[in-house]
Amino acid sequence: MDPIFIGEMLAALMFFGVIGFLLLGFPVAFTLAGVSLLFGAVGMGFGVFDPSNFGSLPNRYIGFMTNEVLVAVPLFIFMGVMLERSQIAEQLLLTMGKLFGNMRGGLGISVVLVGAMLAASTGVVGATVVTMGLISLPAMLRAGYDPKLATGVICASGTLGQIIPPSTVLIFMGDMLSGINSQVQMAKGNFAPTPVSVGDLFAGALLPGILLVSLYLSYVLFKAATAPASCPATPVPADEKSQLVRDFFVALMPPLLLILAVLGSILGGIATPTEAASVGAVGAMVLAAMRWRLSFRILRETMIATATITSMVFVILLGASVFSIVFRMMGGDNLVHEFLSNLPGGPLAAVAVVMIIMFFLGFILDTFEIIFIVIPITAPVLLMLDIDPIWLGVLVGVNLQTSFLTPPFGFALFYLRGVAPSDLPTSAIYKGILPFVMLQVVAIAILFAFPQIVTWLPKVIAG
């Protein structure tokens, strides 16, 4: 039997084997590495895998540890956790709720805007959904909001940190796409390729993030106009109106200045993502100190949470490296290339198929798991077909945010279910998120049809 055929079939079986074990609940990192080693041994038996290929693993692991870009990940996570501990979200939600309370849908509008602010300053999706669920959901239900609208807007707004910079998802994706793009360009004979940086991906994701916020706000305003009973106004007492503007600026200015310091320095080319993340981490501690929320206990809890989240992500990355080596060395990349490049419809059809696969994988896998498994397999083929790497990265980010929301396995739904009142039916959460999932699909369709929304700002910044 043809060794090439055997290798490709083993690679395909390995991919589905990994998915199967993950569905059974096995730990991701050890599943990726364990299944890959098992199939590598089988490949050795058939003579289609050379064990010397594992010799590159130590260099890869050292490369991860010395990668300056990836140092930004724990720093941004620290910034997000510290801001969450400083209770800045609570102050923003309460103040914005009062500011927009006099208009129908005002609480919903405040949740969307605060979600965008928290996404741009923390990027910690789970904490954002939980925080807004604890504070905003009871207030919205007491005000007479439709439970479906209230839960939907909280879940959708809480996941904006998946796509709005500084997203840790975009950091990993930018680092991976940078290396893949360089390899592809050199394979095509371009030995001086235009680099793709995390900053480029941040710039490309900015307008799509604003697009999503605009779609969410439009839906809340639409509901306020067509079904006013679902989102009534919550008038502010007269004695609180006099200091409302002052409270608004007190709540808004600290996170706004932090956003300008972090994102502004990256997009303006003043600092690298790692340097900006360092500024953000220090800035988060300053904001916590200003709110008398900086103590040894909080600092210790923040560092433990940062180490836990960071190590979880990097262990998955190490396991994915084993998977990537075995898959590629057994010819799996050739199998993917043949499948995607021969699809009717050309490169755009290939992108659409990859997006659909990622969407359904999002029902069962976490965002980082999908990125570490799928991007190394599919991105080289798509970039070889002349797909813009920045557009591809942002499109993947928005797509994975959609899967984060989609019933029945959307992680944001589980986060909210955990803090929602016990008498609120789970079906209300599922029904409430569906309009926002449709808005996500609309956003993906717009970005798919008009790539310039993603690519324009990076080109302007690059000059």
Helix residue spans in 330-410 (DSSP H): 332-341, 346-361, 367-384, 389-405
DSSP 220: H
Three-class DSSP category at 421 = coil
pLDDT exceeds cutoff 70 at 82: yes
Query: Using CA atoms, how far apart are residues 459 and 305, in angstroms rounded to an integer?
Result: 37
Higher pLDDT, residue 251 or 205:
205
Task: Return the percentage of the chain with pLDDT > 70, whole number.
Answer: 97
pLDDT exceeds cutoff 70 at 124: no
Query: Using CA atoms, how far apart are residues 371 and 170, in angstroms rounded to an integer?
Result: 10
Burial letters for 163-177: b for 16+ Cβ neighbours within 10 Å, e otherwise?
A: bbbbbbbbbbbbbbb
pLDDT of residue 242: 66
Higher pLDDT, residue 160 or 243:
160
Residue 274 makes CB contacts below 8 A (sequence gap 6+) with: 68, 69, 71, 72, 75
Q: Specify burial of residue 306 (Cβ count, 10 A radius: 0-12, 13-18, 19+).
A: buried
Averaged pLDDT for residues 340-345: 86
| pLDDT tens per residue, range 390-413 | 999 999 999 988 877 887 777 788
Give 221's pLDDT tier (boundaries 50, 70, 90): very high
Higher pLDDT, residue 269 or 12:
12
Residue 218 makes CB contacts below 8 A (sequence gap 6+) with: none
Are the C-beta atoms of 177 and 144 separated by less than 8 Å?
no
Tell the residue number behind the tokens 């591809």, with chain if given: 392
Q: Please give the structure tokens belonging to residue 100.
A: 């927009």
Q: Is the peptide bond before 165 cis (omega within 30 degrees of 0)?
A: no
Q: Out of 33-37, 211-215, 240-244, which region has the weakest mean confidence (pLDDT)?
A: 240-244
For the chain, the maximum distance between any two Cα atoms, rounded to a whole number of angstroms, is 84
Query: Using CA atoms, how far apart are residues 147 and 158, in angstroms rounded to an integer?
Result: 16
Closest CA to 406 of 442, 437, 428, 367: 437
Are the C-beta atoms of 214 and 160 separated by less than 8 Å?
no
pLDDT exceeds cutoff 70 at 10: yes
From start to end of 139-271, where are the E strands? none
Three-class DSSP category at 164 = coil
* Rg of the Cα atoms in the chain: 23
Averaged pLDDT for residues 360-367: 78
pLDDT exceeds cutoff 90 at 125: no
pLDDT exceeds cutoff 80 at 342: yes
pLDDT exceeds cutoff 70 at 252: yes
Tell the residue number behind the tokens 């129908």, with chain if given: 104
pLDDT of residue 240: 64
CA 451 from chain centre, in angstroms, equals 19
Q: Is the peptide bond before 166 cis (omega within 30 degrees of 0)?
A: yes
Other C-beta atoms lying within 10 Å of the C-beta of residue 344:
5
pLDDT of residue 122: 63
pLDDT of residue 1: 67
| pLDDT tens per residue, range 93-102 | 778 777 777 7
